[in-house]
Structure 1
Amino acid sequence: MLDMDLGVLGLSPLLVGLKQGEIEALLSLALKEGYAPGEVVVEEGTPGDTMYMVKSGGVTVHKTEKQGKEIQLASLESAGDFFGEMVFVDVMPRSATVRANSACELLAFPLNTLKEFFVGHPDAHLAMVLNIARVLSKRLRDADEVIVELKTGGKIG
């Protein structure tokens, strides 16, 4: 099972730059969680202390607007996709709801477990923080594009 995890999940953008031994050690700490289609993994507005990685299946990310309508922001359907990474950055409540869109298996990484891992693997810590920063930066750039499109009606200039 660990071999399959290494082969597929080792390609995750979260794990770029980690040595094979670090990836093995990290994956050995993961809690495996299964979710049925439609089941909520994390709920917007609730406290969060866990980051997740998709092992199989997929999830969708939703934000609730002021009138209560749920808007889908993203779909994460590739092994190695991750969410909940903002637990590293701030102690704010979850910013979105994540729901299984198919039967899925996720790897859960509680923040306390990750902190213990990082004590013994400082290079992995640095690599993962930089990887998270890259992903957050891309998401922010993508959101900026959407904002510009919404504000200009798709017309720039």
Structure 2
Amino acid sequence: MKQFSFDPHDAKVLARLKRMPVFDALDSAQLPKLLQLAKIRQYEDGETIINEGDTDQIVYFLISGSCSVNIDGVDVNAISKLGDVFGEMGMIDHKPRSATITAEQETLCLALDGSFLERMKGIDKLAAEALFYRIFSEMLAARIRDANREVLRLEDELKNLSIQRPME
């Protein structure tokens, strides 16, 4: 992994970040402040970004590339869209990582260590926490909707398989 401080003069990366829906809630003054706290991380194909069971508070925003999500040795998802967020659960609940995330090609991420919230005080801390929890709530709601659709699809598939199975 290569890590760089965010360069506010890097027009290409900045333009991609501004297109991320997750940053829509930030005004023009908040985004640069947040980016000062973040790092740009570049991963090579096959490189592990997050290890299942590790503990940290880093949340990642995909800038380019793609990643696989693996739980207990089983591939369960892919991360491939600009602005896809992963690692947020560690920032929310401080529990061990629930999945391994691996770069599937050269991948560029914005990495933000959520522990900065613990160093903030007063109204700034409350505002930052409210903003992140809003962002994460919207994202998790979308994931729950997707999971519900997948459960329904699998239930239909199971029902169809049981109908097709000959009676014994």
Q: TM-score range by the shorter chain?
A: 0.7 to 0.9
Aligned equivalents of 1:138, 1:34: Cα separation in 2: 27
Partner-residue secondary structure (3-state), 2:29 = helix
Question: Which residue is equivalent to 1:50?
Answer: 58
Which protein shows a greater Rg? 2
User: What is the match of residue 94 of structure 1?
Assistant: 97
Q: CA deviation at 1:136?
A: 0.5
The 1-side partners of 2:63 and 2:109 are apart by 5
TM-aligned CA distance change 1:114 to 1:32, over 3 Å: farther
Between 115-124 and 34-43, report the one with greater CA deviation: 115-124
Deviations 1:28-51 (A, max 9, x none): 211222111011100122223211
Identity among equivalent pairs (%): 27
TM-score under structure 1 length normalisation: 0.81
Counterpart AA for 2:91: F
Shift, 1:70, TM fit = 1.6
Other structure's SS at 1:31 match: strand
Shift of 1:127: 2.6
Equivalent in the alignment of 1:128: 132
Amino acid at match of 1:111: G
Tell me the number of residue pairs that the alignment of Structure 1 and Structure 2 aligns.
Answer: 151
8 A contact 2:46–2:105 mirrored in 1: yes
Moved over 6 A (4+): none
Asked if 1:77 corresponds to 2:75, the answer is no
Return the TM-score normalized by structure 2. 0.76
> Which structure 2 segments of 5+ residues have no match?
1-6, 161-168
Q: Give the direction of change, closer, same or farther, for the CA distance of 1:51–1:108 in structure 2 (3 Å limit).
A: same
Structure-2 change in CA distance of 1:12 and 1:124 (3 Å): farther
Task: In structure 1, list runs of 5 or more residues that go unmatched.
Answer: none
Matches within 5 A, 1:145-156: 145-153=149-157
**1:22 pairs with one of 17, 30, 36:** 30
Deviations 1:51-75 (A, max 9, x none): 11112222222222xxxx42232x2
Q: Compared with structure 1, are the counterparts of its residues 44 and 112 closer, same or farther at alpha carbon in structure 2 (3 Å cutoff)?
A: same
Q: 2:112 maps to which residue? A: 109
Aligned partners of 1:135 and 1:52: how far apart in 2?
13
Cα separation, 2, equivalents of 1:118 and 1:52 = 24
- 2:147 pairs with 1:143: yes
